[in-house]
Amino acid sequence: MTEEEMGKLSVRLLNCQSAVEGRPTFPCTDEMTLRDCTRSMDQHTWNSYHLISNRARAVCFSTRQQQFYAKTEMTVNKLVWSSEKQVEAMSELERSQEKVSSLTSETLDAVASGHVKLLLEQERLAQSQGKIQSFVEDNLEQLRKEKALISAGQKELAAMTEDVRKRLDAASSTMLENEEQRQSSHRDLLRDLSVVQEKAKLVYEKIDNSTQKILGHHNIAAEQLKETLESLSQINTSIAYLFEVVEKTRVEVDRKLNWVTSLLQGTDSQLSTIYTCVCHGFYLLLTMSLAAFLRVPMTSRVVMLFMIPLNAVSEMRQSCCLNFASLTLFLIMFVSVDYITRAVRRIRGCRSGPRLDESTYLDAKSLLWASSRPIQTLVPTREGSVAAAANQFNERPEGLQVPALRNRRHRRNSNR
């Protein structure tokens, strides 16, 4: 309130007191000034007005003090309440931060273990790729050798044809000298030429068949390489899907465990039992999935099926068991021993199997003899020179038929 309003209030209070006591009053409205309200007062009334004004000021000051005390107390109470709420919020934030840090550390550990497993799988795939590449290189080298053998056979055939032509020319000059010898030699020559033509036709047909078989094997090798690459891509897709399923399962298990923990409210024994069962169940599911994916033998699968539940029962009953790392190492060692045992049995079975027969060995030996034998020249000195040349051509072993290559290709197809 202003000084003028305070004065008007004092005049109104004085009028109230004067009206009660029957004394004269002084009109004072809101439109009038304080001077107009106090103009008609005498000395005694003026003193009374000042006393009432001082009392009104004291009452206003007391009211202000009480209001200030009330507002101050209310403000302090609000500050105390806000401080308590802030402390509770900070405590809740601290607990949430601890939970977030623990979850973050667990997530980082899981991601690190997943990266390690992924690196191991990549190394295994790289080794498989190297083996496949070496296998393809061996096949290509074998194809080059077979092509070299075919080209050598063709060159030898051309040389023999040229030799036969020269001998036929010599025989023709000999027939011109003697008509009788020419007639008989001409019949022999026609017979020998038909034999040579049949032999050459057979040789060309066998060379063509060998070329077709080589091309077929090359196409088969290309298809096998394509299937291998598709299998590798499917393996990568399966691994990515498996990691995604494992991550989703882990998140769901963590959520269920948090719910069970809040429901049990600190029952450590039940919680540890549930945790042990869930972890071993998840580990059993993971190992059986990997065993089915990797085609682990049935003996190893049975051992996995019995070993993991026994380990869980031992941990729940006696609190003495193998951890997951030791259990994994034990299962890997058992599976490796099982694979080694089966490989040893397979090797023994292969050693006791049938060996190469003697005909294959003789065919290969005849092929080597044919390729290393030098070409002999025939000098027609008498009537049977052309027939002798044809007989000498017929005496060659059938090396150009490549029986050893055909037998070796047949054995390779049977092994596949």
Q: What is the pLDDT of residues 49-92, one digit of tens each?
A: 778 777 777 778 788 888 888 888 888 888 889 888 888 888 88
Amino acid at 303: V
What long-range pairs does 226-234 form, CB within 8 A, spacing at least 24?
228/132, 232/125, 232/128, 232/129
Confidence of residue 375 (pLDDT cuts 50, 70, 90): very low
Q: Is the pLDDT of residue 315 over 70?
A: yes
* Residue tagged 């973050």 (tokens): 104
Phi and psi angles of residue 282, each rounded to the nearest 5 degrees, phi first:
-65, -40
Write down the pLDDT at residue 357.
Answer: 41
Residues making up the chain, counted from first to last: 416
In Å, how far are 186, 252, 253, 256, 279 from 309, measured between CA atoms?
94, 22, 19, 21, 11
Confidence of residue 359 (pLDDT cuts 50, 70, 90): very low
SS3 label, residue 322: coil
Confidence of residue 389 (pLDDT cuts 50, 70, 90): very low
Could you list the beta-strand ranges (E) of 290-391: none
- pTM score > 0.75 for this model? no
More confidently predicted of 349 and 198: 198
Confidence of residue 260 (pLDDT cuts 50, 70, 90): low
For the chain, the C-alpha Rg in angstroms (whole number) is: 56
Q: Is the pLDDT of residue 377 over 80?
A: no
